[in-house]
Chains A and B, each alone.
Chain A
Amino acid sequence: MMIQFRGVSKIYPNHVAALRNVNIAVDKGEFVFIVGPSGAGKSTLVKCIYREELPTRGSIVVDGRDVTSLKPSAVPYLRRDVGVVYQDFKLLPNKTAYENVAFALECTEASQREIAKRVPAVLELVGMKDKVKALPIQLSGGEQQRIALARAIVNSPAVIVADEPTGNLDPDNSWAIIRILLELSRMGATVVVATHEKHIVNNLKQRVIAMDRGEVVRDEEKGAYGREA
């Protein structure tokens, strides 16, 4: 099992229960959509995987690591193993596309030679090898998200987590991003995508975990966004 949630609850200091007794298990190489309305707890669930949030109760194991009892000094190593794609890209505005990706490797104290080898390879994989010198501001939203995706995978993480990765993109670019994520899952990565893009979920017939008010209300192989869809 690559990701395992057991009895996970998250109650924020303002008493909002974002997760209530969540139990899920995701296998190595699986592709999973987390769907649900705004405020259903999708983001919180995803953030728990790379420990941006710590659950109030329950246990989470990711790639053999007990995330909930991890020492703070061990958190960076968990995060190198989990590539994250955000809705707002989170690129550094003063660094070029190449530097933004190289940056993630530098943070892991990789050598220059390794960086020079791996960064062009991932940029090619996401179809951005022609724009290595562009600053984020010179790129479209779709292009920025590809750079962010390249940054997420440059460390060859076992798990790739995407939180509304297509939220700011037009349909064409959304599809492009999803296709790359599918490809990565086929290459062996475990991919978790939180989204509320109905047409993408319904078209792909992948596993779907539906959430509502912090609870898992449905977990189906080859699922759809919702029963009404």
Chain B
Amino acid sequence: MRLSTWRYAFRDAAGSFRANRFSSLSAIATVSVSLLMLALFLVVAINLDSMATTLENQVEIKAWLDPALKDEDIGRLSDQVKSFPGVQSLTYVSAKEAMEKLADRLGNQQALEYVGTNPLRASFEVKAQRPDDVAPVAQAITSLVGVQKVDYKSDTVDKLFRITRALRVFSLTLVIALALATIFIISNTIRLTVFARRREITIMKLVGATDAYIRRPFVLEGVFFGLVGSLIAAALSSWIYTGFLRFAAANLPFFEIVPGAPLLRNLTLTLLGLGAVLGALGSAVSVRRFLRV
């Protein structure tokens, strides 16, 4: 393809932008508002997900060991548990460490002396790779010889996992619905700008322009609308999120809000990519209707 072809396309796109200033600006406004909605919902969804993950990671399986076990038995048992599928990490807590922890928590270093002997048992603290692994891993550990008791607060944990799963399904559904609505709104807005130039498209067809040649300036225009619109959406959503982070730091110390540094950069890149692709697709689809001459 010749360079001049692209020059014509850029010139036409710029000319059309100038000639249809009002509809171009309204297209950009529509893109930025709909992408802003999407972006804000996306950060809420990401935060919900991160909260769910934090909660899930706190789930731990505790396995108390037979006090009669020797050190080498404990080492063998530990290796065995680590080899179970779905086990992420294992921490051995000896009876002495358990007592120290308890004493720490009670704030009374003399606890041991009062009791005389240590009534606590040594234990493994096991973390699963995924929430779904918790129950089977606990089951498997229970069946080992030398393990006396296994606990992971199954009722509470099952409830927690049900809630986090529902939360994720809900937010994913909403994000998809919102994304579809965004595509619809953007392609409709671009269709208006294409409709304003349908006569020109017909004439181009009749003088022998190829479909690709006709499409090119419209697609460029659509990409431009998408990029500018998404830039505005990214700037606004970053501003809003940073403000919210500041507010949360002061007023909601117990909430773990996802920090802005990598999130907002990724959000901006996603919005820019989404804007460009939606703009290009929206234009290409809208032009196609008028190419059948």
- Measured CB to CB, the residues of A under 8 A from B are 50, 52, 73, 76-81, 84, 90, 92, 94, 103-104, 106-112, 151, 155
- A50: chain B residues at CB < 8 Å are 206
**Which of A79, A109, A155 has the most chain B CB atoms closer than 10 A to its own CB?**
A109
- Known contacts A109-B2, A112-B4; is A151 also within 8 Å of B207 by CB? yes
Find B208's partner among A73, A90, A94, A155 (CB 8 Å cutoff): A155
Given A79-B206, A79-B207, A79-B208, decide whether A107 and B4 contact each other with a Cβ distance below 8 A: no
| A-B contacts, 16 listed (Cβ < 8 Å) | A52-B206, A76-B209, A76-B210, A77-B208, A79-B206, A92-B200, A103-B204, A106-B8, A107-B204, A107-B207, A107-B213, A109-B1, A109-B2, A109-B5, A110-B4, A155-B207
Chain B residue with the shortest CB-CB distance to A109: B5
Return B223 CB to nearest CB of chain A, in Å: 21
B1, B19, B199, B208: the one within 8 Å of A107 (CB): B208
Query: B206 CB to closest chain A CB, in angstroms?
Result: 6
- Per-residue CB proximity of B191-231 to A under 8 Å, as 1/0? 00000000110111111111101000000000000000000
B145 contacts the other chain (CB 8 A): no
Least CB distance from B22 to A in Å reads 15
By the criterion CB–CB under 8 Å, are A111 and B2 in contact? yes
Q: Is the CB of B208 within 8 A of A76?
A: yes
**B68 contacts A by Cβ under 8 Å:** no
Interface residues of B (CB under 8 A from A): 1-2, 4-5, 8, 19, 199-200, 202-211, 213, 293
Residues of B contacting A104 in the complex (Cβ-Cβ under 8 angstroms): 207-208
In the assembled complex, the Cα of A92 lies from the Cα of B199 at a distance in Å of: 8
**How far apart are B214's CB and chain A's nearest CB, in angstroms?**
8
Q: A73–B213 Cα gap in the complex (Å)?
A: 12
Which chain B positions have C-beta within 8 A of A106?
Answer: 4, 8
- Residue of A at shortest CB range from B291? A72
Once the chains are docked, how many angstroms separate the CA of A79 from the CA of B203?
11
Nearest Cβ distance between residue A93 and chain B, in whole angstroms?
9
B202 partner residues in chain A, CB cutoff 8 A: 90
Whether B209 pairs with A107 at a CB distance below 8 angstroms is yes
A76 to B201, CA, bound (A): 13
Q: Which residues of A contact B8 (CB under 8 A)?
A: 106
What residues on B are CB-neighbors of A90 within 8 Å? 202-203, 206
Contacts of A94 in B (CB 8 A): 19
CB of A52 within 8 A of CB of B293, answer yes
Query: Which residues of the other chain, B, contact A79 by a CB distance below 8 angstroms?
Result: 205-208
Establish whether residues B206 and A84, one from each chain, have CB atoms under 8 Å apart when the complex forms.
Answer: yes
A110–B199 CA distance with the chains assembled, in angstroms:
22
**Cβ contacts under 8 Å, B207 to chain A:** 79-80, 84, 103-104, 107, 151, 155
**Shortest distance in angstroms between B202's beta carbon and chain A's nearest beta carbon?**
8
Is B209 a contact of A108 with CB atoms below 8 Å?
yes
Quick one: closest B residue to A157, CB to CB? B208
Contact across chains for B208 and A109 when beta carbons are under 8 A apart: no
Distance in angstroms from B197 CB to nearest chain A CB is: 10
**Min CB–CB distance B24 → chain A (angstroms):** 15
What is the CA–CA distance of A73 and B211 in the complex, to the nearest angstrom? 8
